[in-house]
Amino acid sequence: MSFARKLGIIVLAVAAIAGVSLLLTNAEAASGLKGTAYIAGHGGHLAVIDLATLKEPTDVDKDRVVITEAGSEMEGKVAGMDFEAVKKGGGSHGSALVGKKLIVGLLNGSVVEYDTVTGKKSAPMPLGKKFCDAVMGPDGNIYFEDMADGNVYIWDPKGMRAVDKMPVEGGKAVCGIAWTKNRDKAYVSDMPQGIVFVLNWKTKKTIAQIKDPAMTFIHQIRMAPDERHLWVTAPNEFGPGLSGRTQKPQIVVIDTKTDKVVDHIVLPDDINLHDVKFSPDGKTALLSARTYKDDSLLVLMDAKTHAIEKKVSVCASCHNPLGIKVSIDKGSPLLCGMAIDWKK
């Protein structure tokens, strides 16, 4: 082979490598994020999304983590009320990341540990009745909010054991918990009541209730990066008393100094959000949202302007090509809580 030809091959190879590098750089620049999102769903599995590329999940082996069988939050016992139980086991609903291990709460009140490196998972460990969110607390324990009995269950992720059970006064189907910066107060959302309870964290007693006409059916909550404002996910699938829908899906913002509602971020009809997380720089809000059609979405929103920047299909992109039909929740795949492993 001539020198000129060898040189040409080398140049082409270098160009190809440079092209791949450029594509990766552009992909990361498209989202500005680096990390992996694990999004729980009623199907019993977690969708896995690379936040740098925001590639829609398509591979049922690589793009999901199977935790348990399917189930729904509006089945069995919710807030002391009995609903039809189609699936006894219950799907995944929320998880907390401890190192490289996901501590997953299930809709049957069990806890499963999943190692994201080895792919190993534990057997289900009974704890409560019907979990909504799993939140890492200020003490290093994980707090599971129960939609069946209104309690918050506290779990030691190191000893893998129950630590305590905290009743929420007035709570019926609690779904999220968050703390103020100085840990003097905690906030707990109640799904069907549309109430955010304010707790004195030292005594664990309810000291106030926050209500708003735009909170008729709420889910998980998250403290904003300024640690002064609480974002409440209010998709409002139901009206007061589980009646027909009366409000648009939105984020209700509460000032934690005054415990007053100060803003409503109204969303499009297909963004019925369930959870919200913030990027490490605080500029992007990530929403797990339900369309209540054949899909659920990961939505990127500018945390300051509230402009929708990106929608990523999380369910239909995998289900439709394989002909998978959802049998629960009126045929709509429903996503729930997120856990994100951010890359530094």
Report mean pLDDT in 10-residue bins for the chain, 344 residues: 46 43 42 93 94 93 90 67 58 95 96 96 95 96 96 96 96 96 97 97 97 98 97 97 95 98 98 98 97 96 98 93 86 95 86
For residues 172 and 158, the answer to whether their CB atoms sit within 8 Å is no
DSSP category for residue 115: E
Say if residue 309 is exposed, middle or buried (CB neighbours under 10 Å; 0-12, 13-18, 19+): middle
Res 214: pLDDT: 98
How many angstroms separate the CA atoms of 180 and 243, rounded?
33
Distance CA 2, CA 5 (A): 5
Task: Please identify which residue in the block is written with the tokens 């040189």.
Answer: 7
Cβ-contact 109, 130 below 8 angstroms? yes
Say what the pLDDT of residue 76 is: 65
What pLDDT is recorded for position 77? 66
CA distance 325 to 214: 33
Least Cα distance to 191 among 286, 103, 277, 274 occurs for: 274
Helix H or strand E encompassing 9: helix 3-31
pLDDT, position 83: 58
User: C-alpha distances in angstroms, 125 versus 91, 121, 146, 161, 280?
Assistant: 14, 11, 15, 9, 32
Pairing of strands 81-83, 101-106: unpaired
Q: How far apart are CA 166 and CA 184, in angstroms?
A: 16
From residue 319, alpha-carbon distances to 57, 60, 185, 290, 337 in Å are: 9, 9, 42, 15, 20
Amino acid 80: pLDDT = 63
pTM for this entry: 0.88
Q: Residue 49's closest CA among 341, 273, 291, 320?
A: 341
What is d(CA 29, CA 208) in angstroms, rounded to the nearest whole number? 44
pLDDT, position 329: 84
CA atoms lying within 13 Å on the CB side of residue 106: 26
Residues 188-222 pLDDT 10s: 999 999 999 999 999 999 999 999 999 999 999 99
Domains and CATH numbers, the chain: 34-342 (2.130.10.10)
What's the pLDDT score for residue 315?
Answer: 94
CA dihedral of 232, 238, 239, 240, whole degrees rounded to 10: -80
Instruction: Name 273's Cβ contacts closer than 8 Å, sequence gap at least 6.
Output: 219, 233, 235, 249, 251, 267, 287, 288, 289, 290, 299
